[in-house]
């Protein structure tokens, strides 16, 4: 029998976070804890369908005027308008001046990909794959892959995490921006930096914006946690709105996976802010061509849920309350874990756990300590030491804290 034409295809390594979840599922130990998955969990360790989402799904199911016809290529208009509005704010000068546009996408990843494809084709010259793209060190691993697969040849890192002080390396970040070639693209986390949970303060953002403006650097924000980070939509969008107020043209990829709990509905939006309406419309015309050959049309269900919720004052208020419930639980787990580690006398400082925000915390555990946690304690976390605070519950907090204490004490 002839050999397969696919014989020479190598097996790709598994995606780390999904492999971690698979290993967790196969573990028969009753003490096991999954701190790897990037999704919200209740104090019972269960996924949570937001009450407002359940309500809106019922409304959609009972609405006989709806059908399954194709949406426009760029997506559901009321979803796009409302998604951009919560990113930029009700009083955004860009919205009032009609110089924003948006593209409904398959999650935040889809928004990043459409933005990356557009930039490679039309930014800093035509089809310029040599424009440097700067990604924070560390960052969400998909940022590298998305821009590489979009054809960019020069992916660089910028300083972000200071391991010694377990906080932001602002000076290193600003130095990298000063040295970056003009028109370089910088991927910025709008809030709740993944994986570190460490964000610049408003004053630090102002310094970052000043350098980027002077050096003609392009800001591409990734906003995956608006509302989820602090419990306040406006606070979590501060950086994006400040850059807009400073006159930047920019992209902002938005995900509604976390703040609506719509992980598998793939609800995302790419907000485009330009100098004027004409520029934005030309950009959208090219993005429409990219979408047509990528997924052709986006799905409607998740977009309808978000659009219905955001356009009704009553549902919007209910959603904000649901988001605050999630954010508050994460904040509680942070303070509880820190207090336990400190009362155990665990070596090192642990204030970074409560100073970081969002779903993730960069614990500072090294790869050997992580390996000990997984193999000896059946506590699953990323090799970087990143943990999902939602994996902690009132039932497993003591066990996790004692295990971290043991790992730090025994393994150097």
Q: Is the pLDDT of residue 188 over 90?
A: yes
- What is the pLDDT at residue 229? 86
Banded pLDDT at 267 (limits 50, 70, 90): very high
Give pLDDT, residue 396.
95
Q: What is the pLDDT of residue 2?
A: 84
Cα–Cα distance, 125 to 181 (Å, whole number): 14
Instruction: State percent of the chain over pLDDT 90.
Output: 84
Residue 263 exposure: Cα atoms within 13 Å on the Cβ side: 10
Average pLDDT, stretch 127-141? 94
Can you read off the two tokens belonging to residue 406?
């043991």
The secondary structure element, H or E, covering residue 212 is helix 202-214
| 199: nearest Cα among 352, 334, 381, 382 | 352
Phi, psi of 192 (to 5 degrees): 50, 60
Residue 163 confidence (pLDDT): 86
Sorted by sequence, the CB contacts under 8 Å of residue 198 that are 6+ apart come out as 160, 161, 167, 168, 352, 355, 356, 362
Question: Mapping DSSP to helix (H, G, I), strand (E, B) and coil, where does residue 106 land?
Answer: strand
Q: What is the mean pLDDT of residues 283-311?
A: 97
What pLDDT was estimated at residue 237?
Answer: 97
CB 161 within 8 A of CB 362: yes
Q: What is the pLDDT of residue 208?
A: 98
Q: What is the pLDDT of residue 357?
A: 87
Can you give the pLDDT at residue 203? 98
| Mean pLDDT across 379-404 | 93
User: How far is the first Cα of the chain from the last one, in angstroms, to the nearest whole number?
Assistant: 54
- Which of 222, 311, 288, 272 minimizes the C-alpha distance to 94? 272
- Whether the per-residue pLDDT at 1 is higher than 90: the answer is no
Average pLDDT of the segment spanning 344-350: 88
3-class SS of residue 382: coil
The pLDDT of residue 164? 86
- pLDDT for position 114: 98
- Model confidence pLDDT, tens digit, residues 358-390: 888 888 889 999 999 999 999 999 988 889 999
Rounded to whole angstroms, the Cα distance separating 50 from 211 reads: 40
Grade residue 157 by pLDDT with cuts at 50, 70 and 90.
Answer: very high
Residue 172 and residue 159 in contact, taking contact as beta carbons nearer than 8 Å: yes
Where in 12-118 does DSSP place strands (E)? 33-34, 100-106
Euclidean distance between CA atoms 354 and 336, whole angstroms: 9
pLDDT value at position 349? 85
Residue 138: is the preceding peptide bond cis (ω within 30°)? yes
Asked if pLDDT for residue 101 goes beyond 90, the answer is yes
E strand or H helix that includes residue 218: strand 218-223
In whole angstroms, give the CA distance from residue 262 to residue 391.
Answer: 18
Which are the catalytic amino acids? 140, 222, 258
Handedness of CA 81, 83, 88, 91 (dihedral sign): positive
pLDDT in tens, 235-249: 999 999 999 999 999
Alpha-carbon separation of residue 402 from 27, 334, 345, 351, 405 (angstroms):
20, 15, 10, 17, 5
Give the count of beta carbons closer than 10 Å to the beta carbon of residue 30: 6
Contact 250, 219 (CB under 8 A): yes
DSSP-derived secondary structure for 299-343: -SHHHHHHHHHHH-HHHHHHHHHHHHHHHHHHHHHHHHHHHHHHH
pLDDT for the residue numbered 363? 86
pLDDT tens column, 8-32: 999 999 888 888 889 999 999 999 9
Q: Residue written as tokens 């902690």?
A: 392
The pLDDT assigned to 411 comes to: 83
Gap between the Cα atoms of 408 and 406, Å rounded = 6
Output phi, psi for 13, to 5 deg. Answer: -65, 150
| Confidence band of 412 (pLDDT split at 50, 70, 90) | confident
Q: Is 123 left (phi over 0), alpha (psi -120 to 50) or beta?
A: beta
pLDDT exceeds cutoff 90 at 348 = no
Q: pLDDT, tens digit, for every residue of 317-333?
A: 999 999 999 999 999 99
How far apart CA 346 and CA 202 sit, in angstroms, is: 32
Give kind and range of the element (H or E) at residue 23: helix 16-26
Cα(250)–Cα(271) distance, integer angstroms: 8
pLDDT at 228 over 90: no
Q: What is the pLDDT of residue 332?
A: 94
Return the pLDDT at 12: 93
């Amino acid at each position: 029998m002839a050999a397969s034409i696919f014989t020479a295809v190598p097996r790709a390594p598994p995606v780390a976070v999904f492999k971690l979840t698979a290993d967790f599922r196969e573990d028969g130990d009753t003490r096991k804890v999954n701190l790897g998955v990037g999704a919200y969990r209740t104090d019972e360790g269960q996924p949570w369908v937001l009450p407002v989402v359940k309500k809106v799904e019922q409304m959609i199911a009972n609405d006989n005027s709806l059908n399954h016809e194709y949406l426009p290529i760029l997506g559901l208009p009321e979803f796009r308008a409302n998604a951009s509005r919560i990113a930029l704010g009700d009083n955004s000068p860009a919205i009032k001046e009609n110089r924003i546009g948006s593209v409904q996408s398959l999650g935040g990843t889809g928004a990043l990909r459409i933005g990356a494809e557009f930039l490679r084709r039309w930014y800093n010259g035509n089809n310029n794959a040599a424009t440097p793209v700067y990604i924070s060190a560390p960052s969400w691993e998909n940022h590298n892959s998305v821009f590489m697969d979009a054809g960019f040849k020069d992916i660089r890192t910028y300083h972000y995490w200071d391991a010694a002080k377990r906080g932001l390396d602002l000076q290193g970040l600003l130095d990298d921006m000063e040295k970056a070639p003009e028109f370089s693209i910088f991927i910025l986390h709008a809030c709740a930096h993944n994986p570190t949970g460490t964000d610049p303060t408003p004053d630090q953002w102002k310094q970052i914006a000043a350098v980027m403006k002077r050096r003609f650097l392009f800001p591409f924000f990734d906003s995956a946690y608006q509302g989820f980070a602090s419990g306040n939509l406006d606070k979590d969008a501060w950086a994006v709105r400040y850059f807009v107020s400073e006159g930047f043209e920019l992209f902002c990829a938005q995900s509604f996976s976390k703040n609506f709990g719509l992980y598998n509905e793939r609800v995302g939006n790419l907000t485009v802010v330009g100098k004027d309406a004409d520029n934005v419309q030309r950009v959208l015309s090219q993005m429409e061509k990219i979408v047509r050959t990528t997924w052709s049309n986006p799905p409607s269900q998740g977009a309808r849920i978000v659009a219905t919720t955001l356009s009704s004052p009553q549902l919007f208020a209910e959603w904000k309350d649901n988001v605050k419930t999630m954010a508050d639980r994460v904040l509680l787990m942070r303070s509880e874990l820190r207090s336990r580690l400190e009362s155990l006398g665990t070596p090192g400082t642990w204030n970074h756990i409560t100073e970081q925000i969002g779903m993730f915390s960069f614990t500072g555990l090294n790869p050997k300590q992580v390996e000990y946690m997984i193999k000896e304690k059946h506590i699953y976390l990323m090799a970087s030491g990143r943990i999902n605070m939602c994996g902690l519950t009132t039932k497993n907090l003591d066990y996790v804290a004692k295990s971290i204490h043991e790992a730090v004490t025994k393994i150097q």
